[in-house]
Amino acid sequence: MSRLPVVVRHAEPEDAASLIELWTACVDLAGNDAPDSFNTGTLWRQPTVAEAATAVDAYVASPERRLMVALLDGEIVGVLAVSLRPLTPIHTTRTMVVSDLHISPACRRKFVASTLMSAAVSWAEECDCEVVLTSAPASSRDAHRFLTRLGFGQVAVVRGAQVSVLRSRFAGIATSSKDTGRLIAMRRTLRRRQDAGKLRPGL
């Protein structure tokens, strides 16, 4: 039996419901693989169809971003987002950033991911990008193996935290900083008093 061809096209707002279903399935699988880690599932909030359609429409309208979907037998089974940006804030040459590569759990190992990545690289060549950057969930060994086979090396570690957690941490740091400052000031005052006492005549 011949393998069905993978078709890649740009996402459309009408794909919103299918993309939500695909994203949810992938996030659920990632959460089951690493339930105790800070993973994509920790950040995931399922959008409404209207919200997703608006987000997809923004990709359609942007000349520097694309949202690509892969179809098998007319069904969306994969998605990949790409964007163009300078390598650093002090560069003008553009780099392609590949994110959110998600493949339906039932359609993995069917060259869906490879086909999507190949389409992304083709666009990178069209845009004269010298470098392609991508990321994968920390808990997904398969994703990291796949990217390594393609030639990607580790150049950074992406970390995430909820704003509420960060705000509480900074509040604690600020409090500790104030307390530490007061303690240092008290020690300096005591030291000056001790030094002054040693210099008094008859002591």
Question: Between the ranges 25-29, 82-86, 138-142, 180-184, where is the mean pLDDT highest?
Answer: 82-86
Q: Is 67:81 a contact under the CB 8 Å cutoff? A: yes
Which residues, 6 or more positions from 46, have their beta carbon under 8 angstroms from its beta carbon? 20, 23, 24
Which residue type, as a one-letter code, is found at position 170?
A: F
Q: What is the pLDDT at residue 31?
A: 62
Encode pLDDT of 34-49 as tens digits: 444 444 555 778 999 9
Q: pLDDT averaged over the chain?
A: 85
Is the per-residue pLDDT at 172 higher than 70? Answer: yes
Give CA torsion, residues 95, 99, 105, 107, to 10 deg: -30
Does the pLDDT value for residue 86 go beyond 50? yes
DSSP secondary structure of 121-172: HHHHHHTT-S-EEE---TT-HHHHHHHHHHT-----------HHHHHHHHHH
pTM: 0.76
What residues have CB less than 8 Å from 107, skipping those under 6 apart?
72, 77, 78
Range 170-179 average pLDDT: 70
